[in-house]
Homo-oligomer: A and B are copies of this chain.
């Protein structure tokens, strides 16, 4: 049985995975631990409880994490993580659980999950984009997950879309993530709407609902988001052409409010040679499963 772990900024999810299916789940907070060692202890304990309650044995562990470096097995320079140093979580967990442990970038893990078990099955070239608090992406190229020298290839969120534009969490300006993400969409709405009543809650669901009902500022917010995303995707296609783009994560689930204008702008901005040669689809897996199944599948990758 493989244990897949999806490390998030606030919550970390665990799943026992067999044959591409989640057999049992668990979760622990990512924050609130004394240090990274205490967090690794908590993960190991949750893993042992899953083993116990499922009467099984974990034989290997795959972890998807923000800023995960596949080659080093470490979480490096992650701006939204509670630690200000690199965390060699693969080795820490391998030691605690006495099984092989592989760690990779979370967006790469999600791409692997969609490729092996979701909407990207059978594709030789695939781009998977995670639209959530941030914007992540993973690339399958010529039938292999693209890793790169730092094991974090495919940082579409940090492609500069608007030179000298909005400040990004990475410290630079104009990154795609500053426009196409929960944070970006909220900022776009805020810049458009004089009285941003819809910003009271976290997330963008309320803005999406207002857009679906025809609220002008909300519609314009998703139009602009779709425009930026379309150019970013067309640029990724020019550099690394996929046969399909899979959108994954909370924002993607807002459906036609985003997808409608996205498909229009995407077709407009695509190089002629690629027109009609690829499609944009939503994740075919339940909410967290691309990340968890992909994390588990990291254990079967050659680096």
Q: Which residues of A approach B to under 8 Å, CB–CB?
A: 67, 76-77, 124-125, 137, 139, 141-142, 144, 146-150, 152-156, 158-161, 163, 170-172, 231, 234-236, 238-243, 269, 271-274, 277
> How many copies altogether?
2
Closest to A76 in B: B273
Q: A171-B272, A272-B171, A273-B67 are in contact. Are A239 and B142 (CB under 8 A)?
A: no
Q: Which residues of B contact A139 (CB under 8 A)?
A: 239-240
The minimal Cβ–Cβ distance linking A140 to chain B, given in whole angstroms, is: 11
7 A-B pairs with least C-beta separation: A148-B241, A155-B238, A159-B235, A158-B238, A125-B149, A159-B238, A158-B271
8 A-B pairs besides A137-B239, A141-B153, A142-B146 with CB distance below 8 A are: A76-B273, A139-B240, A142-B148, A159-B235, A170-B271, A235-B235, A239-B239, A239-B240
Residues of B close to A146: CB separation below 8 A: 141-142, 240
A67 neighbours in B (Cβ, 8 Å): 273
Prevailing SS type, chain A contact patch: loop
Q: Which residues of B contact A76 (CB under 8 A)?
A: 273
Rounded to whole Å, the gap between the CB of A71 and the closest CB of chain B is 11
Question: Nearest Cβ distance between residue A270 and chain B, in whole angstroms?
Answer: 8
Would you mind naming 8 contact pairs between A and B with Cβ atoms under 8 Å apart?
A125-B149, A141-B141, A148-B240, A150-B241, A161-B163, A163-B231, A170-B271, A239-B239
Instruction: Kindly name the residue among A156, A163, A238, A272 whose own CB sees the greatest number of chain B CB atoms within 10 A.
Output: A238
For A152, list chain B residues within 8 Å (CB).
241, 273
Please indicate the chain B residues that have their CB under 8 angstroms from the CB of A148 in the complex: 125, 141-142, 240-242
Q: How far is the CB of A156 from chain B (nearest CB, A)?
A: 6
A164 to B144, CA, bound (A): 34
Residue among A149, A161, A239 with the most chain B CB within 10 A? A239
Q: List B contacts of A236 (CB < 8 A).
A: 239
